[in-house]
Amino acid sequence: GAGVSQTPSNKVTEKGKYVELRCDPISGHTALYWYRQSLGQGPEFLIYFQGTGAADDSGLPNDRFFAVRPEGSVSTLKIQRTERGDSAVYLCASSPREGAPSAFFGQGTRLTVV
């Protein structure tokens, strides 16, 4: 596809369960970001990948959150032992290596923990 694709678009899970959120970046984009957006707030940075490696994971709130990008393309954000406070929209963005510092966002995954 032409844009950043995130699946699922919506996810409802029970407190304590494990969830995985997937991001397919724009083809050829080497930089990939995860953000979290709570209602009425701007997105907050979680983690940044350049290629396969996590170059900056300073935004991950605690060790229940983990993300991988094993082949330098698709990324998965994993949340263990979900809590109600994890409910938010999780956004993925990608950027080309070269050129402007623009980030192209996906539609997001709306996670609801009940």
Partner 1 sequence: QKEVEQDPGPLSVPEGAIVSLNCTYSNSAFQYFMWYRQYSRKGPELLMYTYSSGNKEDGRFTAQVDKSSKYISLFIRDSQPSDSATYLCAMTRMIYNQGGKLIFGQGTELSVKP
Query: Which chain residues interact with partner 1 by CB under 8 A?
Result: 4, 31, 33, 35, 40-45, 48, 50, 55-56, 59, 91, 93, 95, 97-98, 100-108, 110
Compute the distance between CA of residue 73 and CA of residue 96 in angstroms, rounded to an integer: 12
CA dihedral 23, 83, 19, 62 (to 10 degrees): 60
Instruction: Report, in Å, the least distance between residue 84 CB and partner 1.
Output: 21
CB-nearer residue toward partner 1: 88 or 106: 106
CB-nearer residue toward partner 1: 13 or 96: 96
Q: If we measure between CA atoms, which residue out of 79, 77, 32, 28 comes closest to residue 56?
A: 32
